[in-house]
Amino acid sequence: MKKMMVWMALLIVAVGGVFFWQTTSASIDESALPQAPFEQKVEDVTPDVLNKESEWTTNFTHDGAIFKDGDTYYVFSTDYMVGSPPTPGIQIRKSTDLIHWEFVGRVFDQVSEEAFAWAGGNTFWAPAITKIGDRFHLYYSVSGVGSRTSYIGLATASTIEGPWEDEGAVVTSKDGDGGVANAIDPHVTQDASGKWWMTYGSYFGGVFLTEIDPGTGKRVDESSEGTLLAKRKDMSMGIEGPEILYNDETGYYYLMVSYGWLEDTYNVRIGRSKSIAGPYVDSRGRDLRDESDESFDTGVKIVGSYRFEGDDGYVGTGHSAFLQDGTDTFVLHQARPSEDIYWSQLHVRKVYWTKDGWPVVSPERYAGEGDVEVDDAHLVGDWDVITFPRFDDGQQASSTLTLKRGGKLENGDGSWRLNGSVLEVEVGQETYETQVGAAWDWENWRPTIIFTGLSEDGTAVWGKKQ
């Protein structure tokens, strides 16, 4: 009995001023665990900051686009706030760590006469930011709500905080003009050969790709909508916010889009291709352009509405963006707290890569975590686990999964095995291949370890240690 008591002895480990319990046989290198990102837990809904822009931080971030200039990260986003009409202009935030965000101000204070005359909208939507040569290029959208009458414009500047010069239209679309594309949600990227391309599109005809002239920042071929990359069988259910990332280690281009409605069912999907022009397929080999009944919902869902135990969780988790920062990759997206879905916030998540070359994201927002080395003893215990089924875009709640010693699960119906940083979990008929990492538990305000990965049929799973 005495030996058992010694073996079960508990240590209190201080990390960033927050204390949590660990068994002596399962201590983790503290340097790999993130410290508390703020002095105290941050409330999701804070009405007292409504008219205090300097205190907005991540609040009211919608359709965020990110760019790193020097050692500073910038996010440009849609006109958005709750409680009163938004002040016109593309919002700008900056950070040096992807955690603490400062509201900088806005680009422009009204849409151009040309954009208003074409689209009839008076606010800016879904910007994109990049640098071509020595000029920053900011692409923006103006549109009539629920209409295909839309306008993508371009502004340029020599410094990322401006001043900005409006360069006029890049792509336009209009109801009844015979086209199918909707000219909003731009993103511009460079392929492996050095050519520049723009993805765009929302609802209606789907997502398109068109080549960009780096000298002008505008389309090479203005007579064509471009190449169709993705659509859905029922376009009224939403597909938008396209963005492409090239991974030179895997040799794939990854197309990221959002499905669903922005206030609730929004979720992030991925397809990949060896060519920037596609075809883009999911982990089951289904083309993201497929409209057949069998492919009603294509794409690997890597982020969806979620709720961990002890928290109301988030919905509207979509309109995402990639950030390649050295050897690290991140995905940022908007999320609306279930407590009040009109507060749209910025979430940044670390990306992990499966052995088959698919990006998956941390269950928790980034807090500066490093790589963590774990062994079997670290994983034994209770985990909060969420899966994201392809056909259900509602909010997914966590359940408890208990990993026992010897590679068994609590209920006996399954097993687990750790190989380096890869955790394989077999539950019933499903086998999940996941990556293990460190994270800050934003719901319980303490450091923890997590896993994230995919099942054999491409269902994403998140887990965090209780």
pLDDT tens by residue, 245-278:
999 999 999 999 999 999 999 999 999 999 999 9
Q: How many residues does the chain have?
A: 466
> Which is more confidently placed, 372 or 27?
372
Share of the chain above pLDDT 90, in %: 86
Residue-wise pLDDT tens digits, 133-166: 999 999 999 998 889 999 999 999 999 999 999 9
| Coil, helix or strand at residue 114 | helix
- pLDDT, residue 28, reads 76
Q: Alpha-carbon distance 97 to 99, whole Å?
A: 5
Contact present, 245 and 256 (Cβ < 8 Å): yes
Beta bridge partners of 307: 397
Q: Amino acid identity, residue 201?
A: G
Q: Alpha-carbon distance 466 to 461, whole Å?
A: 16
Q: Alpha-carbon distance 56 to 100, whole Å?
A: 11
Query: What is residue 59's DSSP assignment?
Result: B
Contact present, 235 and 228 (Cβ < 8 Å): no
Instruction: Check pLDDT > 70 for residue 5.
Output: no
- pLDDT, residue 83, reads 86
pLDDT-derived band at 394, boundaries 50, 70, 90: very high
Phi, psi of 114 (to 5 degrees): -65, -45
Instruction: Check pLDDT > 50 for residue 334.
Output: yes
What tokens appear for 209 in the block? 């790709």
- pLDDT, residue 27, reads 65
Identify which of 395, 161, 76 has the alpha carbon closest to the alpha carbon of residue 267: 395
- pLDDT, residue 263, reads 96
What tokens appear for 466 in the block? 């209780």
Contact present, 67 and 405 (Cβ < 8 Å): no
pTM above 0.85, yes or no: yes
Query: How do 10-15 and 18-23 pair as beta strands?
Result: antiparallel
Q: Alpha-carbon distance 93 to 100, whole Å?
A: 10
Residue 432: enclosing H or E segment and its boundaries?
A: strand 430-441
Residue-wise pLDDT tens digits, 281-330: 999 999 999 988 777 789 999 999 999 999 999 999 999 999 999 999 99
Q: From residue 228, how far is each of 19, 232, 267, 297 by CA, in Å?
A: 52, 12, 21, 17
Identify which of 50, 58, 45 has the alpha carbon closest to the alpha carbon of residue 97: 58
Share of the chain above pLDDT 70, in %: 94
